[in-house]
Amino acid sequence: MSTYFLSDIHGCYKELRMLLKQVLFNSKEDYLWIAGDLVSRGPDSLKVLRYLYSLGNKVKIVLGNHDINLIAVHAGIKKNKKENYFDEFLSASDSIELINWLRSQALLRIDKKNNIIMSHAGISPQWSINTAKIYTRDFIKYLSQENYISFLKDMYADNIDFWTVYLNQFDQLRYTLNSCTRMRYCYPDGRLNMLYKQSPSLVPYPLQPWFLIPSKIPKIYSIFFGHWSSLKGTYIPEPFISLDGGCCWGEELRIFRWEDKKWFFQSSGCRKY
């Protein structure tokens, strides 16, 4: 049995299957942890979701910003943009079944036995593990309910960028969504900056990558995240592990095998979507 970690598939189904074939992934014995952004930008979001759904409990997913966006588009909260490549999914006979499955996934996964944490964008420097567990769990509780549309409609708020216990309940959940699915840079006090997406070498002081801000998470944990393909070539200290290889931009899909700490790579055959 092996455990594999990857992220930001972005509808690149062909590359996903080629990479899993390369590592001899066994869907009956192995486990696949995916740090979000399963869909959008690439051509085959529907195929990606159908395949991952078929894996049952062998796949462990956290939602990324593009996965949340698909849920919002399907619900009529957001417009379907051309660059999403969602048309095939939205017209599929099993789209509701797949959306309901997606809505029940996590924002944060923790494996205490192996000291592993996984979230799409990362984990807020302002949070302890217990705080992260409480609010990510509460967010998914609301998202997985039948009346989720009114909840999700109220969750988009760029101005909720700093954690404090004095936030009201829904601002706490708005911060949870922003930090878990959109975070890249923080100010020294931990406040989020959701404007900059470039490589750290191009971003002005005093902004820093979130993983360089002092954290409350014990260093025994390996922290897997995606969301940030422009980190390529950037120094990332232990215990943080960046998974996004920029496959949908014509770069690569990459996967990490936990047991021997080995990387595998699949070049993108896609044009730059």
pTM comes to 0.96
| 220 vs 95: CA distance, rounded Å | 40
Q: Model confidence over 64-96: pLDDT tens digits?
A: 999 999 999 999 999 999 999 999 999 999 999
Indicate the pLDDT class of residue 268, thresholds 50, 70 and 90. confident
Which of 182, 133, 134, 139 is CA-nearest to residue 157? 182
Q: In the structure encoding, which two tokens stand for residue 252, read together?
A: 């690569």
pLDDT of 17 > 80? The answer is yes
The answer to whether 241 and 224 have CB atoms below 8 angstroms apart is: yes
Per-residue confidence (pLDDT) for residue 117, from 0 to 100: 98
Per-residue confidence (pLDDT) for residue 270, from 0 to 100: 66
Render the burial of 198-212: b for 16+ CB within 10 Å, e for the rest. Answer: eebeebeeebbbbbb
Mean pLDDT to the nearest integer, 107-112: 97
CA diameter of the chain = 49
pLDDT of 197 > 90? The answer is yes
Q: In the structure encoding, which two tokens stand for residue 92, read together?
A: 């599929």
Which of 136, 134, 195 is CA-nearest to residue 161? 195
Per the listing, tokens 């960028």 go with: 161
Residue 95 buriedness (CB in 10 A; 0-12 / 13-18 / 19+): middle
Q: In the structure encoding, which two tokens stand for residue 86, read together?
A: 């969602």
Per-residue confidence (pLDDT) for residue 24, from 0 to 100: 98
Strands ordered across the beta sheet of 240-242: 108-111, 116-119, 222-225, 240-242
| 106 vs 104: CA distance, rounded Å | 7
* CATH class for the domain made up of 3-267: alpha beta
| 259 vs 58: CA distance, rounded Å | 16
Over pLDDT 70: what percentage of the chain?
A: 99
Mean pLDDT of the chain: 96
Domain ranges of the chain: 3-267
Query: CA geometry: angle at 41 spanning 242 and 102, to 5°?
Result: 75
Q: In the structure encoding, which two tokens stand for residue 110, read together?
A: 């923790």
| 3 vs 73: CA distance, rounded Å | 32
pLDDT of 160 > 80? The answer is yes
Q: Which residues pair with 253 in a beta bridge?
A: 266
HSE-up of residue 130 (Cα within 13 Å, Cβ side): 0
Q: Model confidence over 117-157: pLDDT tens digits?
A: 999 999 999 999 999 999 999 999 999 999 999 999 999 99
Indicate the pLDDT class of residue 273, thresholds 50, 70 and 90. very low
Which of 91, 110, 94 is CA-nearest to residue 102? 94
